Chain A
Amino acid sequence: EAQVTQNPRYLITVTGKKLTVTCSQNMNHEYMSWYRQDPGLGLRQIYYSMNVEATDKGDVPEGYKVSRKEKRNFPLILESPSPNQTSLYFCASSLYRESPKLFFGSGTQLSVL
């Protein structure tokens, strides 16, 4: 089954404790991205990757890191989380950047205390 798998689904942590949210797709997609969703706001892109070893900043990259060492995986790293990073996070992938067929993970609800 074609899917984007995100883990964990829920995460509660404390300020400053490094964490990683994993994202994996099994569709051989070149394009992957991370979004955050906050109440009353549209999804905002954090980082994206056009292909392996090619990552770039989105609209809200501050406080986040990503890597793309393998085509299928695109982890999101918060090296020193802060309360303003409490949000719902989505990973997405598509065959290419402007492809209309965008696949989303189920989301990770992160709370930073």
Chain B
Amino acid sequence: SYELTQPLSVSVALGQTAIIPCEGDYIRSKNVHWYQQKPGQAPVLVIYRDSIRPSAFPERFSGSNSGNTATLTISRAQAGDEADYYCQVWDSTTVVFGGGTKLTVL
């Protein structure tokens, strides 16, 4: 079965750039989607089809997908960006989520 690997945690200084990777075999051949989840809340879609950003999210959020790694990049990180972030793909007939990355803004 297909697997997605994310680091458990990523830290970023306030105002700097956070990079959250999502690794999977030949992931570049798949559409990768990202979700933000804050404590006690439902997940929210933050990037879809690798790099498309819903209008509710600012341009500071961007995505890319190349080789075996998809990446969520958060520029000029703010305290309000602290959350868990999950990548997700569709593989054959199965939805696969990464294990999630906790972003801490220092």
User: Does B bind A?
Assistant: no
